A and B are shown apart, each in its own frame.
Chain A
Amino acid sequence: MTTEQTAGDQPLRPSLWRRILDSDLLYSFLRKPVVIVSFVLTVIIVLAAVLAPWIAPHTPFDPASLNLMNGFTPPFSANEFTGDTFILGTDSQGRDVFSAILYGARISLLVGFSAVAFAMILGVGLGLLAGYKGGWVDSLIMRVADVQLSFPAILVALMIFGVMRGVIPPQQQDQMAIYVLILAIGLSDWVQYARTVRSSTMAEKNKEYVQAARLFSVPAHRILLKHILPNVTGPILVIATIGLALAIILESTLSFLGVGVPATQPSLGTLIRIGQDYLFSGEWWITIFPGLTLLVLALSVNLLGDWLRDALNPKLR
């Protein structure tokens, strides 16, 4: 979003850096320790996930690097046979739990971000269209949204997943699983964007600047994207942040239910599902550490979203 703004800069406007330093958002951010902690935790997890191939001590899903003798090593202690140590222990096949979490968070975040992007593009697009066009286009889009909103996201995602599973031939299912998951989560979450953008668009389209643009016969798509869209970005950002937390939770839930990503590319939810079987025999670390990572990630992103909603809402200041 920053490049967009600098591109259209006029000489008189202060530099981007100056504007960030002077912004109310930064002021509010620096006065909320909880928000700073959430932000730092989110950044750490995202960086660790992105850099997983370079910082993970092991490559957990390369069978050649695994040693079965290392199986079930408890955290913080050396394996009794091989003497290897693993920070967070190993699972049944001697995989390093810490590395598995890094790679798992990578999948979780990849699916989460992609699903949010997909839902955002779809929802914003349909919302702009519905708000600007009105009439039967508007009623059709909003009726679909109403119906979808009366079912919980998990059910919609499961339904889409079930349908897709039927459409895709079985031999390709594992490769396609991530895309299907992104599609299912994205489709279950577009309504929020559409509703918000639609109501803002309806308010904006009657203002003078839009009328002026129309008078210059600027094409409709240009009015929507260049004139109206920049004025509705605040709410979109808030929904996207909270949506990211929801998408991550939804992805992990689906993977936990065994209908998400395949076991060869485990996300945090898959790791928790695999680890659950060993909970009863006392190997708690296999499931608890991925669970904690998921909790910290979801909680931090949620808190950031809450703060953003309050900070961008002038009524609450």
Chain B
Amino acid sequence: MLAMLIRRLIQSIVVMLVVAFIAFSLFQFVGDPINNMVGQEASAQERAELRERLGLNDPIPIQFMRFVGNAAQGNFGISYRMARPVSAVIAERLPATLELAMISAFFALSMGIGLGVYTALKRSGVLSNFIMTVSLIGVSLPTFLIGILLIYIFAVELRWLPSFGRGQVVRISDWWTTGLLTPSGRASLILPAITLGLFQLTLIMRLVRAEMLEVLRTDYIKFARARGLAQRSIHFHHALKNTLLPVITITGLQLGTIIAFAIITETVFQWPGVGLLFINAIRFVDVPMMSAYLVLIALVFVVINLIVDVLYFVVDPRLRATKH
């Protein structure tokens, strides 16, 4: 098991280095960084001095090592567009994205499990069939279209909820701002959270339903019924419990996807998070910002994948046994 962990760790480091190299080569491809920093009137000599001072004349491998070293310390340079350190801008925007992602994941998980159990227990019910059909449409509907439809219905026609921004936020520590403590902040969160969580909701619901149907057919459920246990206890204590392992795994893996898909939701709702930051960085070719986001999101994915892999071993004793 230790060997496997080490192998996975090395693999993760390789992935991070590859992503870092892509992020680094962005700087090489995209124009001349000097042109982006000095004004039109800078002389050739001033340019050459700046070039030397920034270490742009060093060989590529050394520049890459320096990039990795800086990135490991959270230093990604200065944004071309905002003229501020990239790390500061990202730290400022990150709470908005994390808050949105957490609330969406919670929404997807609770509704997904609930609806999944319901559709599994009432298999041929009218409502179950309706939910399954709607979920098929939900899978085909692009995220941004869901957002626009929700805005049109709840913000434009009904005027119940705000359609953009985070509402009023409260600063609870130096770098964490939350919208959860104000009424306008909470109202602003509803539509983006539903938009972002809907796809995961359908996924979790279908998964729970399939797993439940599988488990309900097994002998120990029949035996529990034969013992005359209450239906409720069988469904929730015996059946649901055994379906949750894959659900937790999938949800864990999906957490990274949620953060990635936040790019779309944040654009639709003008949510001031890192996704919106990244899209604007691509649009304006703000290379330091792009590269920092790439490294950050890759790190999130790699860490989540690693945790899920380790959890497998912790949770499932059979995997541990075979590796000895």
Q: A and B: partners?
A: yes
Interface residues of A (CB under 8 A from B): 147, 150-152, 154-155, 158-159, 161-163, 165-167, 245, 249, 252-253, 256-259, 269, 272, 276, 279-280, 282, 284, 287-288, 291, 294-295, 298-299, 302-303
B78 interface contact, C-beta 8 A? no
Residues B163 and A280 in contact, CB atoms below 8 Å apart? yes
B142 interface contact, C-beta 8 A? yes
Q: Which residues of B contact A272 (CB under 8 A)?
A: 144-145, 148
Looking at the complex, which one of B144, B260, B305 makes contact with A256 (CB distance below 8 Å)?
B144
Looking at the complex, which one of B22, B140, B151 makes contact with A279 (CB distance below 8 Å)?
B151
Residues A256 and B261 in contact, CB atoms below 8 Å apart? no
Q: Which residues of A contact B287 (CB under 8 A)?
A: 166
B18 interface contact, C-beta 8 A? yes
Main secondary structure of the interface of B (DSSP, over half): helix
Looking at the complex, which one of B29, B163, B263, B285 makes contact with A154 (CB distance below 8 Å)?
B263
Q: Which residues of A contact B285 (CB under 8 A)?
A: 165-166
Mask: chain B, 258-291; 1 = CB below 8 Å from A; 0 = not: 0011011001100000000011001101010010
Which parts of B144-185 form the interface with A (CB within 8 Å)? 144-145, 148-149, 151-152, 155-156, 163
Q: Which residues of B contact A245 (CB under 8 A)?
A: 140
**With contacts A166-B287, A298-B142 known, is A291 near B26, CB below 8 A?**
no
Residues B297 and A155 in contact, CB atoms below 8 Å apart? yes
Mask: chain B, 21-33; 1 = CB below 8 Å from A; 0 = not: 0100110011100
Residues B282 and A259 in contact, CB atoms below 8 Å apart? yes
- For chain B, the count of residues having a C-beta within 8 Å of the partner chain is 44
Residues A279 and B283 in contact, CB atoms below 8 Å apart? no
Q: Which residues of B contact A258 (CB under 8 A)?
A: 267, 279, 283
Chain B residue nearest to A301 in the complex (CB) = B140
Chain B residue nearest to A146 in the complex (CB) = B11
Residues B142 and A294 in contact, CB atoms below 8 Å apart? yes
Residues B139 and A291 in contact, CB atoms below 8 Å apart? no
Residues B15 and A257 in contact, CB atoms below 8 Å apart? no
Looking at the complex, which one of B29, B151, B256 makes contact with A167 (CB distance below 8 Å)?
B29
CA distance A214 to B30 in the complex (A): 49
CA distance A158 to B278 in the complex (A): 10
